[in-house]
Amino acid sequence: MLSLCRQLIFVNPQKIHLRCIGSVVPVLNLKDYPLVNEPILSYRKGSKENSDLKNTLDEMARDCEEIPLIIGGKEITTEIVKYQVMPHNHQHKIAKYYYATPDLIRQAINVAVKTQREWEKVSFEKRLDIWWKAAELMATKYRQQLNAATMLGQGKTAIQAEIDSAAELVDFFKMNVYFVTEALKYKPISTNPKETLNSMRYRGMDGFVAAVSPFNFTAIGGNLSYTPALMGNSVLWKPSDTAILSNWWIYKICREAGVPEGVVNFVPAHGPDFGDTITASPYLSGINFTGSVPTYNRLWTQVGNNVNNYRNYPKLIGECGGKNFHFIHPTADVQSVVNSTIRSAFEYNGQKCSACSRMYVPESLWSKIKAGLLEIRNQLKMGDPRDFSVFLGAVIDGAAFKRISSYIKHAKNCSDLEIIGGGGYDDSRGYFVEPTIVQTKNPKDKMMTEEIFGPVLTLYVYKDSNLDETMKLVDSSTPYALTGAIFSQDDKWASRALEEFRYAAGNFYINDKSTGSVVGQQPFGGSRLSGTNDKAGGPHYALRWASPQSIKETFVHIREHDYEYMRS
């Protein structure tokens, strides 16, 4: 593969020894990959995808799949046995899996460190092909397995699963192939390439990368673990306990596509065991994390405490929580506000990091917006996502149920707060929390400032004359800055809000809901406590997982050590 062009052209043996332009750095033969989003299927009654998905759901629900740890391609089980259950029916087990012990995590680190050196020698052309093939398998042969596992295990409805475990997952794989291909075309400046040629190659990072993923997006699990792998790293992937089945399907599909053993090691574990073990290893080269602020802060602190022990400074990418807003201007279109807010606050039970959970409404529009929100809220059907008429399922687990219901209890007990819709919860069969709307007189109450991560929307009605003062609350009342939306038909005000809310959201929407970012269209992430804003789904993300090497190759022998002006 080396394009060696090593003839020496002796123009004058004493002066210039020129080789014809060429380089020892491999020249890549890159394909043209298209940049298109995966279409989202409709699942209309009578469609093929509707019956395929229902059949797959029935089949998967009958089974309790056994999921081993995979280290260097070897299947391993341990004595720490766990089960994944359906959130809407917590007696129904759908997967049996095992926790890795700290010893096994260390074993996985050793395998990953060894594998990394071999893996990064595999050409980019080959790696990109494997990733593309995996995406094709996800989009076709295994689309409904991914969707069914996401619906049964993580409680998503058909459309929410399709958006996540089909479209977004495929997009992450395919668009990273596209973005990496484009990045590889970059050539550093070579002012006189006949004498000196500059090039750059993207190496993997020496050591191993730990990918720690959340429960709420199947696609995020795939992106966190496989994007570093695409760049020549070996990875320990610790999936979330409550997303284990869908994540296991991703792992199996990638193996079928040709990702060699040991490149991504599938290591379910008790979170703190995993975090403590990886941060103690001198070979840690990066952590790719998505989840809550407390978990990320703990990992960051451990890395800081161990900083003198590492061979490299580990790269830390963390995408965390949000307290996302809808800010309504008096000129807003009421119907857009109502529909967008219902979707953003209650789809997938408000368990999207981008879900709207605080809203600022002008008094002049309040009666219409209130009527609209309550009318739709009262029609929302909650239940088993296998019933295609439900709008939302149950929240993910007992801990989430307890946390969310404690906020509802707070709303019931506090005189500043009034529950105007919903407020019920019941975990006797599944972890069900009604879509709940709370009105507050205090815009700084914890319902307006803390991440609840459930189907609870709190809103503050402001006097139209207090517009400017209310705008100040958006940026100042929470430590988060993930997503936010303004609704206005006054362009002048919208431009002002865009400036005023400059640092209040990494993903900003004008007359649209705060959720629903699409890979390649709205790269995602926020700053402040919402994370490092590395923009998954954007052109720079994959490059964060490379360790570039700059190479200068000179074809003329160096005959002088001094400079012309020094000579008499």
Separation of CA 494 from chain center: 29
Which positions from 485 to 524 touch ligand NAD by CB under 6 A, shown as an x/- string?
A: ---------------------------------------x
CA separation (Å) from 495 to 117, 301, 471, 490, 498?
A: 50, 39, 13, 9, 5
Structure tokens at 203: 């190496």
Which positions from 352 to 381 touch ligand NAD by CB under 6 A, shown as an x/- string?
A: -x----------------------------
Q: Which of 274, 283, 432, 545 binds ligand NAD (CB under 6 A)?
A: 274
Is residue 320 near ligand NAD by the rule CB under 6 A? Answer: yes
Q: Which residue is nearest to ligand NAD (CB)?
A: 275
- Smaller CB distance to ligand NAD: residue 21 or 399? 399
Per annotation, catalytic residue among 120, 353, 434, 451: 353
Residue 356 a catalytic site member: no
- Smaller CB distance to ligand NAD: residue 384 or 397? 397
Is residue 217 near ligand NAD by the rule CB under 6 A? Answer: yes
Is residue 321 near ligand NAD by the rule CB under 6 A? Answer: yes
DSSP-based three-state secondary structure for 415: coil
DSSP-based three-state secondary structure for 544: helix
Is residue 213 near ligand NAD by the rule CB under 6 A? Answer: yes
Spatial separation of the C-alpha atoms in residues 345 and 358, rounded to whole Å: 9
- Least distance (Å) from ligand NAD to the CB of residue 369? 26
User: Which of 113, 272, 49, 188 has the alpha carbon at shortest distance from 549?
Assistant: 188
DSSP-based three-state secondary structure for 504: coil
Residue 353 a catalytic site member: yes
CA separation (Å) from 318 to 67, 530, 535?
A: 27, 8, 10
Structure tokens at 429: 């069969």
- Least distance (Å) from ligand NAD to the CB of residue 459? 20
Q: Which residues 54-93 are close enough to bind ligand NAD by CB under 6 A?
A: none
- Least distance (Å) from ligand NAD to the CB of residue 106? 15
Structure tokens at 479: 């430590």
DSSP string, 430-488: S-EE--EEEEES-TTSHHHHS---SSEEEEEEE-GGGHHHHHHHHHHS-SEESEEEEE-
Helices (H) and strands (E) in the chain, counts: 16, 25
Is residue 254 near ligand NAD by the rule CB under 6 A? Answer: no
Is residue 215 near ligand NAD by the rule CB under 6 A? Answer: yes
- Least distance (Å) from ligand NAD to the CB of residue 365? 29
Per annotation, catalytic residue among 38, 162, 168, 319: 319
Q: Which residues 157-186 are close enough to bind ligand NAD by CB under 6 A?
A: none
Q: Which of 19, 127, 156, 238 binds ligand NAD (CB under 6 A)?
A: 238
User: Which of 347, 68, 359 has the alpha carbon at shortest distance from 216?
Assistant: 347
- Least distance (Å) from ligand NAD to the CB of residue 397? 9
Is residue 531 near ligand NAD by the rule CB under 6 A? Answer: yes
Q: Which residues 334-353 are close enough to bind ligand NAD by CB under 6 A?
A: 353
Is residue 295 near ligand NAD by the rule CB under 6 A? Answer: yes
- Smaller CB distance to ligand NAD: residue 87 or 421? 87
Is residue 478 near ligand NAD by the rule CB under 6 A? Answer: no
Q: Cβ–Cβ contacts within 10 Å for residue 26, how many? A: 14
Residue type, 471: M
Q: Is the dihedral of CA 485, 488, 494, 496 positive or negative?
A: negative
Is residue 299 near ligand NAD by the rule CB under 6 A? Answer: yes
Which positions from 435 to 464 touch ligand NAD by CB under 6 A, shown as an x/- string?
A: ----------------x-x-----------
Spatial separation of the C-alpha atoms in residues 433 and 117, rounded to whole Å: 49
- Residue partners of 109: CB distance under 8 A and separation at least 6: 208, 236, 277, 278, 281, 283
Spatial separation of the C-alpha atoms in residues 62 and 59, rounded to whole Å: 5
- Least distance (Å) from ligand NAD to the CB of residue 429? 22
Residues labelled as active-site residues: 319, 353
Residues contributing to the site for ligand NAD (CB under 6 A): 212-217, 220, 238, 240, 271-272, 274-275, 290-292, 295, 298-299, 319-322, 353, 451, 453, 482, 524-525, 530-531
